[in-house]
A and B are shown apart, each in its own frame.
Chain A
Amino acid sequence: MVPPGTPLYRHRLATRLWHWINALAVVILFGSGLGISNAHPRLYWGSYGANFDHAWAELPHFPGWLTIPASYNLAISRRWHLFFALVLAFGLLAYMVASLVNRHFSRDLALTAKDVSPAHLAEDVRDHAEFRFHDADDPGRYNSLQKWSYLLVIFVALPLMIATGLALSPGMDAAWPWLLEVFGGRQSARSVHFATSALIGGFSVIHLALVILAGVSNELRSMITGWWKVPA
């Protein structure tokens, strides 16, 4: 057992840099995305979809305190969204390359036999319910649910946001027509884009809640300086 209070160097520079750049990009993309949603808050499936067509979902009007800019302005929402789309996409790419090179993926995120064992996962759920997030013998290691949620965000949700976002661009649809085939049409891609953004929003809320439960100052320090203290 590692004694409580032991300092551990837990997050490398590439991870920390990307975390904050990506957090900023996600917040801005989410706010500006809700502003864009207000322009036409209806979701369709297939290639086309407009006012006279069947919408599978009608979204609420998002209030000004959630949108960028606060007062409706589609052009400015798009300026924010499209600039930070580049930050998100190239940031993710740089982080992935760095994490292969510095072995962050293979050391910290690669699944082990334990992470796929239903018995262990059930135990991990019980530990979370009791606010126990760290293995006393190997406290620096991500727990299994943590690994799965990071893997889901890094390798599924964020790439899906980028790919569906590209499919919304008429220029990219000419450059890479397979984008539309993958998602079954531009309006389907738009629906997947919105649904995945809700998934990322949900992840962000749970992530922040767990940071608070696990100890804000310790968690924040580790994501700023890299150093984390083994909790009691």
Chain B
Amino acid sequence: MSAAILTRRALVAGGIAGAGGLLAGCDRVVQIPAARKILFAGEDMHKGLQRALMNRGALAPEYSRAEMSPIFRSNGTSNPNTPLYNEWAANRFAGWRLAVNGLVDRPLSLNLAQLRSMPARTQITRHDCVEGWSAIGQWTGPLLGTVLKAAAMRRSARYVVFTCADLFGGQPYYESIDAVDAFHPQTILAWAMNGAALDVPHGAPVRLRIERQLGYKQAKYITAITAVANLDGIGRGKGGYWEDNVDYDWYAGI
């Protein structure tokens, strides 16, 4: 009987060690290039499935004023704090310009007043951080599609790249989305949040809202919007600061 108990104990210990070995094994597996490629292919599978299951224009849920977060925390950069940005902020962004360039027939350089004079959409939506938290806030600004049409984006453009005023390791933060999300009816260049001018922690003067994806796609402090045919040659080619540096999914609808 005692032998049987010992065997059972050994088995339990073996089982725990086995599970631990499996977990440790995962760290080895992810270093193998072929295995890593398969694992990372999950992103494209989810993107394909989600795009197949949703209408191109399917809307992210919108909320009432009563459902808004009492405090909408900021995340990432809370102040770019570069000499140029500080100068813009000191003059209420009168000197700031938004460049719209790349594969467009009419490159634009818009100031804040011009952007504010464009037809705007106001939406109360949920911001989901990749870490797991959510906050609900109200955003106002023109559709990105309106701006891209004003610049006459070419058919050859497949992606839109956002360059930001905040620096990470000396390089501007950047993000990118594809044409499906760029022309989505809730994708806006927000210049107001919760009924007031967008403040510095949340991305003043203008940030992106792309409501069917996670928080790290919502580029803040935008200075340039560039239409491109592909993402090669931009940063390290994965389409965003976090994508390049820590392997976050480019498709952040998951």
Chain A residues packing against B (C-beta within 8 Å): 24, 27-28, 31, 36-37, 39-40, 42, 44, 47-53, 65-70, 73-76, 78-80, 82-83, 86, 168-177, 180, 186-187, 190, 208, 212-213, 216
Contact = CB atoms under 8 A, between A and B. Distances in A.
A78 B26 contact: no
Given A78-B249, A175-B53, A186 B128 contact: yes
For B11, B26, B249, the residue with the greatest tally of chain A CB atoms inside 10 Å of its CB is B26
A50 B127 CA distance: 10
Contact of B246 (A40, A73, A187): A73
Given A50-B69, A169-B253, A174-B212, A36 B132 contact: yes
Contacts of B41: 83
Interface residues of B, number: 57
B50 A175 contact: yes
Where chain A touches its partner, the secondary structure class is: helix
A53 B23 contact: no
Contacts of B27: 68-70
Contacts of B24: 70
Given A80-B39, A82-B42, A176-B53, A52 B71 contact: yes
Interface string B31-57: 000000011111101100010011000
Contacts of B135: 48, 50
Contacts of B69: 48, 50, 52-53
Contact of B23 (A65, A170, A174, A213): A65
B229 interface: no
A186 B247 CA distance: 25
Contacts of A51: 73, 133
Interface stretch (B58-66, B95-103, B220-228): B58-66
A86 B11 contact: no
A177 B60 CA distance: 8
Contacts of A36: 132
28 contacts: A27-B22, A31-B26, A44-B134, A47-B63, A47-B67, A48-B135, A50-B135, A51-B133, A52-B71, A75-B246, A82-B254, A86-B42, A170-B211, A170-B252, A171-B253, A172-B53, A173-B212, A174-B60, A174-B211, A174-B212, A175-B50, A175-B53, A175-B54, A180-B61, A186-B134, A190-B132, A212-B8, A216-B11
A76 B39 CA distance: 9
Contacts of A213: 8
Interface string B62-83: 0100011111110000000000
A212 to B, nearest CB: 6
For B27, B63, B131, B133, the residue with the greatest tally of chain A CB atoms inside 10 Å of its CB is B133
Contacts of B237: none
B144 interface: no
